[in-house]
Structure 1
Amino acid sequence: MYIVENKGGAIALILFAILCGGSFAPAMSFMERRGRLPQHIYLDYSIANFLVAVLIAFTFGQIGPGKVGMPNFFTQLSQDNWPSVLVAMAGGLALSLGNMICQYAWAFVGLSLVNIIVCCMIVDLGTTVNYFLDGRINRAEFLFPGVACFMVAVVLSSILHSSNAKDKKEKLSSLGVDFNLEISKDSDAEEEQKNGCCDENTAPNLAKPGTAEFLAQIEKRRSIKAAGTSTTRGLAVVLFAGLCFFVFSPAFNLATNDQWHLLKKGVPHLVVYTAFFYFYLSGFVIAVCVNIWLLYRPIASVPASTMEAYLRDWNGRHWALLSSLLCGFCNDFQFMGGQAAVFATADAVMASPLICTIWDIILFGEYRRSSRKTYFLLTSMLTLFVIAIGVLLASAGHRKTA
């Protein structure tokens, strides 16, 4: 079994997890903006996500012999470790629900802002819980200033969203039409969505990013019609997702380190790979059940679909599979790094909106042709995330793995 035991290796894994974590959400949002149904995207995502967990458990979890108190993956499957297994599965349920909610919130509030608010909630709540669960191994003089940087960043992100929304409204008003009514009249997009699929190769020739025409074409094409939706309603959805997300990291910490002493005496703690397997198993089950239901009982004005339509819908499936690979490796590297450098430091992965915002600008033309105020707020927010990453990594402690 492969175990990271030094702080340097753990920090390297956390940095790589930030890159993966900031890239998976844009990959998912990319096809929704081209008309693919969110139910189809998430079914692909959850199936592949579970396969990643199985692959990691069968490889990293079985490399070489086990250590004292740290048996290999297959050995742990037959041990009496169900209390820790149930805690890991609870964390997986929370993460899966949070991801499903975010998939709709991205359309209502925006990719960058959703990820920033959610990640800040995870850091402010989850990191504090992990700090005490890990016996205060972290250097508090660095950890909590890092958390404070996240809190300031979320305030700036809210102001940024307001400024960017105002810029968009001014751009769309220049079209001289009632945009919220016009997007419901796009018969070509509606016909494609009734068939439960889209064709990324037939996407319309978009106008220059940042223009009013560009924004209008994106909203007409996407499967979740978010134009005209109350921002307050969207933010409420995001906050609920954040509460789901904040649970998963402390739950995984408890599952692997058993701070509440739930296991019987002499039973080894779950190793990262075993906990990861059960973590994603529960997330896979709830995701498949919920999204099959949503095929026939959709929400947020998304067209209904069927299992047959889902199985026939191969357009953009590779993007959903790429997203699941990125997310799976992000979480695995975060947990591997957290086991060595403690989970409070590993929550630096939640600075992934730094990467996500960059993809948001490159792929979706977000913030282009905006006001100087918006550019200033964007620069200030991204700078704070860079500072927060550095300070949180500086707070890293070292957990003895044997």
Structure 2
Amino acid sequence: MNDILITSFDMEVGGVERSLISMLRHFDYSRNNVDLMLYSHSGELFDLLPAEVNVLEESKPYKTFRMPIDQTFKSGKIGLGAARLRAKYKAMKSKSNEPGYRQMQWMWKYGLPYLPKLEKKYDVAISYLWPHYTIAEKVEAETKIAWVHTDFSTVDTDAELDREVWDQFDYIAAVSKDCRDAFITKYSSLQSKAIVIENITSPDSVRELAEDDVDNPMTTDKRFKLITVARLSHAKGIDQAVIALKMLKDKGYDDFVWYVVGYGGDEAMLRALISESGLTDNFILLGKKTNPYPYIKSADLYVQPSRYEGKAVTVGEAQILAKPVLITNYPTAKSQVIDGYDGVICHLSAEGIASGIERLYKNAGLRRQLAENCSRKNFHNRQELEKLYELIREGAGDAAR
């Protein structure tokens, strides 16, 4: 049996967390013992973890990374609280457009001396969510793998600090070829370590969950329904979606309604923008939903207005449900959609989104064709796990030697 460790933050509702659950549900437990280290045992998806997975006991020092800074001090973790304050101050002084990424890196870097090491040695250790410090610094394993879910060429990180961490991994698994290409554009010296292991999809589960009876206002809404499932953050471009819908309304399209399933730090800003744009009845934030699939099923068009992505889990899930999809032309978009066949790629701007929606609204035949092509497509990709098993076998072989 191979001993495997996987680390991640928590099981809050999100694409990364759903992809982790899907991978764990398809894992071969006859050959592998899997320990899962979650920094916080929280989130609506926690109960969906397979029974075969051994969830390690919560560690109080690691849990602080999901607490407010003042609460970290109140919990008695003075060193970690000071590290968090130092990271926040440094990020505020940086000239980054998205200082949160750098703050996260520095938070971990400065907090390392106060974090315990794991006693058990593993054949393979997988860090499922950036910035990967735990596996790099606090775990002993024959093979270490870091997962990449985003387009790193567009993310403003401290590249030198990142490279120090990446260097401690044997493999860096990107969720798409374009995601890998973007990664090595930024970190060319790591090209030999970068591989592709796509998110494991479970079409049968998605279709089954889409039939759940949920409180869904979309079922009685007779307007042309757009849907986006995403975190409310700059990266996901929901602000661009609001502006795009305003443009369409100004052109006389009063029959559109845009529903968004998700939560995040931009909610207050988005609600203000929706109100200012006069879209209170047309742009509706539904909040956090454990099961987003009935909402996707009820829509006429799925839209991903992101500024950047690795490979958006929700786009693939919309395609599984045979929905026409529209995505912005972020750098990895072509790894997600074949333009004009199983979706449409529009210009990455509010104007581009508005134009793409208008085109698909007017062309019902194109929408039907996109949906039909998706319904004929085989979304099963369990073979991707074979790539991971090969790395596990290599790690176990190294341990035996």
TM-score (norm 1): 0.29
Q: Which has the higher helix share?
A: 1
Q: Which has the higher contact order (CA 8 A, sep 6+)?
A: 1
